[in-house]
Amino acid sequence: MLGLNKKDTSLLLIVAGLALFAPFLLNPFPADSGLAQFNAGYPDLMQRFVIFGIFAIGFNILFGLTGYLSFGHAAFLGVGSYCVVWMYKLVDYNVIWGLPLAIVVSALFSLLIGFVSLRRSGIYFSILTLAFAQMSFNLAYSVLTPITNGETGLQVYSNDPQVLLGATEPNAPHLFGIVMNQSKTLSMGAWEFTFNNGYYFCAVILMVVFYLAIRIFRSPFGMMLRAVKTNQTRMNYTGLSPRPYTLAAFVISGMYAGLAGGLMAAMDPLAGAERMQWTASGEVVLMTILGGAGTLLGPVLGAGFIKYFENIFSKINDGVLHSWFSFLPDGMENLLVGIVHPFVGKGWHLTLGLLFMAVVIFLPGGLMEGGERLKKRFSKTPEVKDPEHRPEDKPHVAE
């Protein structure tokens, strides 16, 4: 289907299925039960899953394939957001103007940064991208205040031109009248499922960009990118120039990041400089490594994993902990709450750090490697081949 082999088609269908049925899958607990706080099926969080999934898929094309670790991709995220909000201010609230612009501008921006940074490899490349991203952040935060509105963040004001704004047009981001922040709710017994327009808009885009990523992975171009990671000396002496390949990968991943940033602003018409900070760049590195760098599905899983735990752990406060441990004697209860307290609520980063360490130490290939190991343990015929990294077997002419 669509030029994919059977395995890749099923991978695409899995992602499509997960994305389309996410409102059900992420809401397994009845709304009034104590476990409802573990539900993730509400619009804001689901949008974040998908947007960061797109961000991570793009980052993985650079990091997973070529091995160049960029610490500056958040800059493209921010650029994408600013583009979309500017289009709201100048044209109207239809996201159709802003998103293509976000992709184009972040492509140009990443071409510039990539052209300079890719003169070096390894740690020097990482530092160069980090420096560029911090420069972009500071530009957005203070120097370019007329464009970015500085620390307040860019938003739409009532005196903005909005030249195409019609009289009946919704006063929030929309796609030809489909308003992003509107939802439909379906109640089935104790369960409540929310279907949000913005989420489905992002999910469709996720499917498209995931499909594009599969095509890139399976193409000769993708093979060349893996060759860059493996042995640049051999590449040079095979008549291939690694630089344009890495630059192309850098620009593609920058475009993915710009699109993700644009979608953030499409969900919520705001753009702030903090989106460009290095912590955001670090987050996408974590997502990609946690899920499995160089695999197709890994970055999406990693993004979902981190965003889910960010949300769940940060919601658990002392009150919730006390209710969990209330069956224990008072002293024990306070002790346990005291022990768990630093790892939840505002301290959820501590838990994330521990989880990340555990994955990197015990599963260097990320969650995807964990899945592979489980599959091997439960299937009688162990699969020797790594399905991600091989072109499809082709019957030879002699056969």
Closest by Cα among 288, 266, 146 to 200: 266
The answer to whether 219 contacts other proteins (rule: CB under 8 A) is yes
Looking only at residues 372 through 391 of this chain, which bind other proteins when binding is defined by CB under 8 A? 385, 389-391
Q: Which of 120, 229, 341, 349 binds other proteins (CB under 8 A)?
A: 229
**Contact call for residues 77 and 259 (beta carbons, < 8 A):** no
How many whole angstroms separate alpha carbon 195 and alpha carbon 363?
A: 35
Question: Measured from the CB atom, is 33 or 231 closer to other proteins?
Answer: 231
* Ranges assigned E (strand) in the chain: 154-155, 174-175, 178-179, 183-188, 191-196, 270-271
Looking only at residues 256 through 295 of this chain, which bind other proteins when binding is defined by CB under 8 A? none
The answer to whether 1 contacts other proteins (rule: CB under 8 A) is no
Phi, psi of 159 (to 5 degrees): -95, 10
Closest by Cα among 266, 173, 202 to 165: 173
The answer to whether 220 contacts other proteins (rule: CB under 8 A) is yes
**CA distances for 46 relative to 23, 25, 186, angstroms:** 8, 11, 16
**Contact call for residues 94 and 274 (beta carbons, < 8 A):** no
| Minimum CB distance to other proteins, residue 149 (Å) | 37
Stretch that binds other proteins, among 100-108, 241-249, 276-284, 305-313 (CB under 8 A): 241-249
Q: Which of 215, 274, 347, 370 binds other proteins (CB under 8 A)?
A: 215
| Minimum CB distance to other proteins, residue 272 (Å) | 33
The answer to whether 6 contacts other proteins (rule: CB under 8 A) is no
The pair of three-digit structure tokens given for residue 164, joined into one six-digit string: 């195409």
The answer to whether 9 contacts other proteins (rule: CB under 8 A) is no
Helical H segments across 118-231, by residue range: 122-138, 145-148, 197-218, 220-230
Torsional sign, CA 284, 289, 290, 294: positive
| Minimum CB distance to other proteins, residue 92 (Å) | 34
Q: Which of 73, 218, 275, 307 binds other proteins (CB under 8 A)?
A: 218
Phi, psi of 108 (to 5 degrees): -65, -45
Binding marks (x or -) toward other proteins, 337..376, rule CB under 8 A?
----------------------------------------
* CA angle 271–317–153, rounded 5-degree value: 10
Q: Which of 157, 237, 327, 378 binds other proteins (CB under 8 A)?
A: 237
Q: Which of 189, 239, 331, 382 binds other proteins (CB under 8 A)?
A: 239
Q: Which of 10, 33, 230, 317 binds other proteins (CB under 8 A)?
A: 230
Pairing of strands 191-196, 183-188: antiparallel
Question: Measured from the CB atom, is 35 or 384 closer to other proteins?
Answer: 384
The pair of three-digit structure tokens given for residue 219, joined into one six-digit string: 């193409």
Q: By the criterion CB under 8 A, which residues form the site for other proteins?
A: 3, 5, 215-216, 218-224, 226-227, 229-231, 233-241, 244-245, 248, 252, 385, 389-394, 396-397
